[in-house]
Amino acid sequence: MSNKRRLHPAAIFFNFVKTVREAIFFIVIGFITFKDESYIYFILVLSALLLLFITLSVLSWYRFTYQVVDDELRIEYGIIIRKQRYISKNRIHSIDLTAGVVHRIFKLVKVQIETAGSGMSAEASLKAVRLQEGERLRSELKMLQQIDAQEEEVEKQAPKESISMRRLFIAGTTSGSVGVILAIAAFGFSEIEQFIPDDFYNQTFEWVIGLGIAIIIVLVVVILLVLWLFGIAGTMIKYGNFTITKNDDELFITRGLLEKKQLTIPLKRIQAIGIQESVIRQPLGYATVYAEVAGGSLDQGEDFSTVLFPIMKKDEIAEFLEKFLPSYLSDHNNLEPLPKRARKFYIFRSIILFLALVVGVFIFFPQFSWIPGVLLIGSFYLGLLRHQDGGFLTENDRLTIRYRTMSKHTMIMFHKRIQSYEKKQYTLQKVQQLATMNISIIGKLGVGKHFKLKDLDEDHVNQLADWYSYRK
């Protein structure tokens, strides 16, 4: 049994920031409402609120305690209503350590504990503890004993892979994050536009128009270049110092330059392994390896899929899987392709929207009809690629499927991980003896993750149904 412990006093700061962030919407609304009249009252109310937030943050820190008793972690918290939470060691799936900029300044970490019942948030979160305390707590909760010299030598020989700065730079340059940044920037501008004085806005607009087409094109190119550099920086900050290590029945991932994250992935929670080849990376021969992991939460700021390695050459993937996940080593280069008669369906679904757009623009704005025309050609080619890349392969109790949206995805999963199998067939497919296969697995937050392969040969869909149902 350990004594009751409190978090590091820096947790007061994190509590305060969280409270302000949750109230920022109402603070902004109040500022907009009272910015012209009764401004002094707004300042007084805001000062009182900040004082209240600070008081609540201090009390929350003081009333929060934790201790390990026998085989469980006990947490007590609550300012007015006292709450107790008991988490058994046997229920703990992963314990992750995260260190943001403030954490690293004071040599602190955030400890996040996840169980099978974790939803949108972690089962327990210790916002600020000393690094040594976080590591001690993780070892104690995972029932790890002190290792001797021989075990240390075994640990050193554990499979390990790191990413080089050159590969990290390539990952940033091919991340395709410019579109995401543009969308965020457009949303941000739409929100702050109301605060820009009309005179300043109109003068700026007239100045831009007066620059001429050539200057505007140069400005657009410069802006896109800056956004591209931001995308590179974001990728390198997120995946800097990326290292994956396999230890017994778990994978440990460490990454991040500003915010250092240590993620634990139990092998038994991996539902499928994916290989993603984006439109930009595929011609260069690069791909991303990721995992669909059951359970977990969104507290870590992770995507719904967990990246096992940000970028690697496609011909290196087999060696990577053999080292870390040998049971997922699949012959995904020899998949059963889609039938040729399915090609017209893929092309039609890909071009139908742009075909309607071409007609509309040609009628109302004929001078701009070349724009959707170019998009129509691109969508036609995308339809060909989607048909060409689709396929599947069964190897005993393992299934591999490949499909393309914009990026090409190859998914490898085991029979026991598939939660449901569904066959769909509409009238035109039935005439062509085609059908659609839809399979589901458990994904993050415990929700379903679905994979669909359209216009397979009907016999192949029936064979897969027999394979899933153990029918002969």
Report the CATH number at residue 95.
Answer: 2.30.29.30
* In a domain? residue 73: yes
- Residue 65's pLDDT is 93
Based on the domain organization, do 224 and 271 belong to the same domain?
no
User: According to the model, what pLDDT value does residue 348 have?
Assistant: 94
Q: Which residues of the chain have pLDDT under 70?
A: 1-2, 34-38, 116-121, 143-157, 176-214, 216, 296-304, 445-446, 471-472
Q: What is the pTM of this model?
A: 0.77
- In-domain check, residue 94: yes
251: how many CB neighbours lie within 10 A of its CB? Answer: 21
Residue-number span of the structural domain to which 447 is assigned: 267-335+395-469
Q: Are residues 275 and 365 in the same domain?
A: no
Q: Are residues 111 and 139 in the same domain?
A: yes
Q: Fill in the DSSP letter of residue 193.
A: G
**Into how many domains does the chain fold?**
4
Alpha helices in 125-212 (DSSP H): 131-141, 149-156, 165-173, 178-192, 198-210
Question: How many Cα atoms occupy the beta-carbon half-sphere of 67 within 13 Å?
Answer: 10
Asked, for residue 2, whether it belongs to a domain, the answer is: no
Spell out the alpha helix ranges (H) of 165-309. Answer: 165-173, 178-192, 198-210, 213-239
The confidence score (pLDDT) of residue 26 equals: 80
Residue 1: inside a domain: no
**Do 378 and 438 share a domain, yes or no?**
no
17 domain residue, yes or no:
yes
Half-sphere exposure (CA, 13 Å, Cβ side) for 356? 5
